[in-house]
Structure 1
Amino acid sequence: MSKKPIIVFEGIEGSGKSHHISVVSKYLTKKKITHIKIREPGGNVSSEKIRRLILNNKSNFNKNTDLLLYLAARSENINTIESSYKKKVILIDRFTDSTIAYQHIGMGVDINLIKILNKFLLKNIKVDFTFLNLVNKQNLYSRLKKRKSLNRYDKFDMSFYNKVQKGFVKISKVNKKKYQLVNSNLDIKKNEQLILNTIDQLIK
């Protein structure tokens, strides 16, 4: 594995992935390890414009349009990723697994279409490690209630989130060595340390 890996944080809403990626970014900054942190959708000016369109509560796209918009946002991020690939640690809040879990497993979009488009966009770029954050129903809803505003993807019913989360777990089982499951129902400080310990192993 590269000592400048691509590390992805995955999970459904309220699972803590955005919190943990922020903690890791601060940790790497403190250790003076060069890195970039991006999110999907989003990550640069153009991608953030697409993000606002996708997540807007007034938007009502069909599942194929959603897929293409997410991948359009990813396309805008590819240059950013390519310019840092193998040169800096790359932290990504959601990536290709989210597309499969949400758009294919959750919404039923053709998996072959997703794979073809991802292969076209990513070329030789490969994720080195993924932290998969898991959350139960009670904590998911309690955390969403604390948010100042909810976007379109914060408002699905629990059956959808269950399907997506099970999809993430299924994906992780294909290559267990490249995944670490994080039970975000446990103490957050313990999970932070668990993740940072793994980060040390990935970049040392």
Structure 2
Amino acid sequence: MSKKPIIVFEGIEGSGKSHHISAVSKYLDKKRISYIKIREPGGNLNSEKIRRLILNNKSDFNKNTDLLLYLAARSENINTIKNSYKKKILLIDRFTDSTIAYQHFGMGVDINLIKTLNKFLLKNIKVDFTFLNVVNKRNLYSRLKKRKSLNRYDKFDMSFYRKVQKGFIKLSNINKKKYQLIDSNLDIKENEHLILSIIDRLIK
């Protein structure tokens, strides 16, 4: 594995992935280790514009439009990813697994279409390690209630989130060595300690 890996944080809404990627960022800052942090959808200026369109509560796209918008946002980030690949640590908040989990397992889009489009965009770029955050129903809704505002993807019913989370777990089972399951129902500090210990191993 490259010592400048691509490390991805995945999980459904309320699973704590954004908290943990922030904790890792602060840890690397403290150690003065350079990295790039990207969120999907989002990242650069154009991708953030697409993010606002996707997540807007007034948007009502069909599942194929949703897929293409997510991939358009990824396309806008691709030069940043390519230019930093194996040169800097890349921390990504949601990436290719999210596209498959949400658009295929959640919405029923053809998985081969998703894989073909991802391959077209990424070429030989591969994720080195993924932290998959899982959450139960009670904590998911409890955390969403604490948010100041909810976007379109925060308002699906539990059956949708359940399908997506099962999809994530199915993907993680394909290559368990490259995934760490994080039970976000447990103590957050305990999970932070686990994640940072793995980060140390990945970058040293």
Q: What is the TM-score with the length of structure 1 in the denominator?
A: 1.00
Q: How many residues align?
A: 204
Question: 2:156, 2:184 → 1: CA distance?
Answer: 20
Question: 1:157, 1:149 → 2: CA distance?
Answer: 17
1:160 equivalent in structure 2: 160
1:107 equivalent in structure 2: 107
What is the deviation of 1:13?
0.1
1:12 equivalent in structure 2: 12
What is the deviation of 1:41?
0.1
1:168-200 deviations in Å (ceiling 9; x for gaps): 000000000000000000000000010000000
1:118-164 deviations in Å (ceiling 9; x for gaps): 00000011000000000000000000000000000000000000010
What is the deviation of 1:83?
1.0
Question: 1:161, 1:124 → 2: CA distance?
Answer: 30
1:8-40 deviations in Å (ceiling 9; x for gaps): 000000000000000001101111111000000
Give the partner amino acid of 2:38. Answer: I
1:133 equivalent in structure 2: 133
Q: 2:175 aligns to what SS in structure 1?
A: helix
Question: 2:45, 2:20 → 1: CA distance?
Answer: 23
Give the partner amino acid of 1:94. Answer: R
1:32-82 deviations in Å (ceiling 9; x for gaps): 111000000001100000000000000000000000000000000000111
1:75 equivalent in structure 2: 75
1:178 equivalent in structure 2: 178
Question: 1:197, 1:63 → 2: CA distance?
Answer: 38
Give the partner amino acid of 1:145. Answer: K
Question: 2:201, 2:40 → 1: CA distance?
Answer: 25
Give the partner amino acid of 1:86. Answer: K
Question: 2:115, 2:200 → 1: CA distance?
Answer: 31
The within-5 A match list for 1:11-90 is 11-90=11-90
Gaps of 5+ in 1: none
Say what the alpha-carbon RMSD is for the aligned residues.
0.4
Question: 1:33, 1:125 → 2: CA distance?
Answer: 22
Give the partner amino acid of 1:106. Answer: G
Q: 2:51 aligns to what SS in structure 1?
A: helix
2:93 equivalent in structure 1: 93
Question: 2:18, 2:156 → 1: CA distance?
Answer: 19
Q: 1:167 aligns to what SS in structure 2?
A: helix
1:120 equivalent in structure 2: 120
Question: 1:78, 1:22 → 2: CA distance?
Answer: 22
Question: 2:66, 2:109 → 1: CA distance?
Answer: 10
Question: 1:73, 1:62 → 2: CA distance?
Answer: 17
1:200 equivalent in structure 2: 200
